[in-house]
Structure 1
Amino acid sequence: MAETAMTELNVDFGKEKDDWAEITLSKTEMQRNRTLRDIKFSDYEDSIEKIPTAESLGIRITINGELYGYDIRIPEGHKIYADKTEITPEKKEIKVKVFKETKFNLKGAQMR
């Protein structure tokens, strides 16, 4: 099966505690004005996938045959509870709550 190219969504790291972190995925300006114009993420809730690996947690949403998403990096030696991850699609954004198995700074891990 061929890999489908993914278009990244904007990411914003919100509140973060020792055992969880909140992340918001949203449309880029170009996506708002063109490819995802008038699209509500909540209308595509059934197409959202989470793809956990040791290095990242991928969030994917398929809209009109196109793949969008973001890979949240997990620092080496740290873990999350991927099965507990909460994904809430709203009209203009996707809220993700990640639960940590070990203590680390998720936002800081993205800066490498």
Structure 2
Amino acid sequence: MAAMTELNADFGRETDNDAEVVLSKTEMQRKRTLKDIKFSDHMQSIEKIHTGTSLDIRITINGELYGYDIPIPTGERIYPDKTVLDPSNDTIKVKIFKETLFSLKSAMMR
């Protein structure tokens, strides 16, 4: 499997039922490797992979793999099939629906 280049992640609005994470291009990606490339033009290549301990978002562009692994706290559960991906020019908004009560932001601080 090819090495993945990580996107930036911003953990935004969160409620008891859902959470939003916005994945975005790094500065170097905006200026070089992904310059003038819109994530929305590659919607069909975006994958979400639920491992139980993370929700992995992957997008393949020009044969290169980009993404981010969103950690899910141990013992907590999400509804992976309900996850909504909303790509735009430089970002992919990920809306995660929770099955159990937990905080994604707290998981990131561990």
Do both share a fold (TM > 0.5)? yes
Q: How far apart are 1:108 and its partner, in Å?
A: 1.4
- Partner residue in 1 for 2:101: 103
SS of the aligned residue for 1:46 comes to: helix
Q: TM-score, normalised by structure 1?
A: 0.96
2:67 to 66, 69, 73: 69
Q: In the TM superposition, what whole-angstrom CA distance separates every residue of 1:41-89 from its partner, at most 9, and x where no partner exists?
A: 0000000000001100000000000000000000001000000000011
2:94 is matched by which residue type in structure 1? V
1:111 Cα deviation (Å)? 2.3
Measure the CA separation in 2 of the matches of 1:97 and 1:9: 16
Q: Which runs of 5+ in 1 are unaligned?
A: none
User: Taking every aligned residue pair, what percent have the same amino acid on both sides?
Assistant: 68
Distance 2:38 2:105 in 1: 26
What is the alpha-carbon distance in structure 2 between the residues aligned to residue 46 and residue 100 of structure 1? 24
Counterparts of 2:109 and 2:69, CA distance in 1: 13
Deviating 4+ runs (over 6 angstroms): none
What are the ranges of 5 or more consecutive residues in structure 2 without an aligned counterpart? none
Aligned to 1:6: 4
Distance 2:51 2:39 in 1: 24
- The amino acid across from 2:106 in the alignment is G
Who is 2:23 aligned against? 25
Distance 1:50 1:12 in 2: 17
Q: State the TM-score, normalizing by the size of structure 2.
A: 0.98
